[in-house]
Amino acid sequence: MIIGASSGIGAALARSLARRGYALALLARRADALDALCQELNAAAGETRAAAYTHDVTDYELIPGLFQKLLADLGRIDSVVYAAGVMPTVTFTEYNFDKDKAMADSLLLGAMAWLGQAATLFERMGEGQIVGISSAAGDRGRVLNPGYAASKAGFSAYLESLRNRLTRRGVNVLTVKPGRVDTEMMRGAGITRGLYPADKTAEAIARAMHKRKQVVYIPGWYRWLMLAIIHTPSFVFRRLKF
């Protein structure tokens, strides 16, 4: 399952996993984009490799029933990837609760609603993998877009908590922390410089899933950059404009 699969990292990962032979249930709000992606993947495979399910992750009350439907349709679920989210443009002097709430609803609360279902299933199975597309932006509180940083920080903490619960039950939890990836969401937020290709990001995620990694930064050198940023003194960090 890939939740948030109609574009960006989710769509790129769907292509990567389809090439590896995965059977995919793809979820997203935009039915047209999702259907087009499934048609592309199935045509390339020469068989039905991907099925589309239109869904808004903020419809929390629908998630338990939809999860059970997906389980019945697929017969088995081995991996659940949460890649959904929004990132509206936020100016340096803007404090907009509606934008912050939209980010928290999709980036954090939707993830908790879906991955709680996955955790329950996988714990009972004694196997499986949860993958959360978080962000390096959650490692520190940055001056730009506080709502996004806070949502991603909360998501990373939630994934770590799941990992600490589920590892002992045979379940792997992978936290993916990309830098700036070339996606519609990033460009829509006005960020166009220093973008890493989405297809390369997806390939790195697929490799990390295969190796059952626990935390990966993409590109790999971001780990060292973020290590430096994490240990930058607050009185210096607050003067940076990113």
- For the segment 97-125, the average pLDDT, to the nearest whole number, is 97
- Spatial CB neighbours of 44, under 8 Å, sequence gap ≥ 6: 18, 19
Which H or E run includes 16? helix 8-19
- For the segment 93-110, the average pLDDT, to the nearest whole number, is 96
Which pTM was predicted?
0.93
Q: Is the pLDDT of residue 188 over 70?
A: no
Q: Of 82, 148, 158, 222, which one is the catalytic site residue? A: 148
User: What is the Rg, in whole angstroms, of the alpha carbon atoms belonging to the chain?
Assistant: 17
What percentage of residues in the chain have a pLDDT greater than 70? 97
Contact between 77 and 128 (Cβ < 8 Å): yes
The per-residue pLDDT for range 29-46, each reduced to its tens digit, is 999 999 999 999 999 999
Domain locations in the chain?
2-237
CATH of region 2-237: 3.40.50.720
In angstroms, the Cα distances linking 210 to 20, 53, 83, 172, 203 are: 10, 25, 18, 11, 11
Q: Is 148 a catalytic residue?
A: yes
Q: Which of 37, 28, 36, 5 is nearest to 202 (CA)?
A: 5
3-class DSSP assignment, residue 65: helix
Contact between 64 and 117 (Cβ < 8 Å): yes
Average per-residue pLDDT in the chain?
A: 94
